[in-house]
Amino acid sequence: MAQQAYMTETADGGSGPERPGTRHRRLMNRMVNRLFGGWRGDPRIWRRGIVVATLAVLLALVMLVHARIPNRIGNLGSLTETFLPWLGVLVPLLLVLAFVRKSVTALIAVLLPAIMWLNLFGGLLTDKAATGGDLTVATHNVNAGNTDPSGTARDVAASGADVLALEELTASAVPVYEKALASTYKYHSVQGTVGLWSKYPLSGVKAVDIKLGWTRAMRGTVTTPAGQVAVYVAHLPSVRVKLEAGFTARQRDKSADALGEAIADEPIAEVVLLGDLNGTMNDRSLNAVTAQMRSTQGAAGSGFGFSWPASFPMARIDQIMVRGIEPVSSWTLPQTGSDHLPVAARVEIDT
């Protein structure tokens, strides 16, 4: 088939072959004219869209000063920080409104929250996972109402984790998990509603008091081929969003402080924390823990790693955090019979 030749008018009024790239520039100019052609010569392009511009500036301010939003009224600051990444969804919406209003002012203003969001979360959009590592760890809130505990146990064991933490264990379900995991994990201990399973020897196992009156946290020393690691398992109290009270998290915050104190007093330098913290790394109420540990997802994951709710994950409240250990990779596992997704990580023990 003969190649079609595009013609363009020459200086003497004739026509000749269209120069390379000219057709693409014409198409681009046509597109720009369609988008902005009606804006030329219109002095209102700077005066229109003030409401959209104002909303954009307010959104940027929330991202900028989220740590200063007070918790005195309904823990509003923690609520904002829990779902802070989702504020980015508003940026495209504001951008569309700026185009609809044909407002240059609004378009410029929308750049502010876009830049702020990228500054806060842009690093999570890249894949930072590497190869190698000494130890694979995983954690899963199995849900007290799980109707298939044996299937859930098989699913998490299939992840290849050397050390596995389970939370929200019921007395009736514990024997089921113990039986299902026995062939994979030689060592295990259950303290209250949390449990720790390991392919390597466990010692120094004890409950950790997080000021609840019953046991929802524990620690144990795992002797791996690369050295000893102190492993903490915790399930902090749930939080609730109530119209009359806001984001109720007082007990969670108190338990987080107690857990942070226990980890700070840990004599072993290499520490792994596994569990459902009912809070994100952005939540300032978890500072007692997050200030002294690193998130494997933030350091070696890809994306946000949201873990809850399993049907449509909106927040990462299930955490793997380390101290004195280098994260190598981090990921979420497929959905089980729980309302949480399991999370896993590969780490390098620095001995």
pLDDT value of position 245: 45
First-to-final CA distance of the chain: 69
pLDDT value of position 72: 80
Supply the pTM of this predicted model.
Answer: 0.84
- What averages of pLDDT result for each successive group of 10 residues across the chain (351 residues)? 47 54 62 54 76 96 93 83 95 94 91 96 93 96 97 96 98 97 98 98 98 96 97 92 58 95 98 97 95 96 96 97 97 97 95 52
Instruction: Please give the domain boundaries of the chain with CATH numbers for all domains.
Output: 41-125 (no CATH), 135-349 (3.60.10.10)
CA distance 319 to 296: 8
CA distances from 121 to 13, 68, 86, 110, 351 (A): 56, 18, 10, 17, 32
pLDDT value of position 228: 97
Q: Give the other-Cβ count within 10 Å of 9's Cβ.
A: 10
pLDDT value of position 293: 97
pLDDT value of position 1: 45
pLDDT value of position 307: 98
pLDDT value of position 5: 47
Size (the chain), residues: 351
pLDDT value of position 11: 46
pLDDT value of position 306: 97
Are the C-beta atoms of 209 and 198 separated by less than 8 Å? no
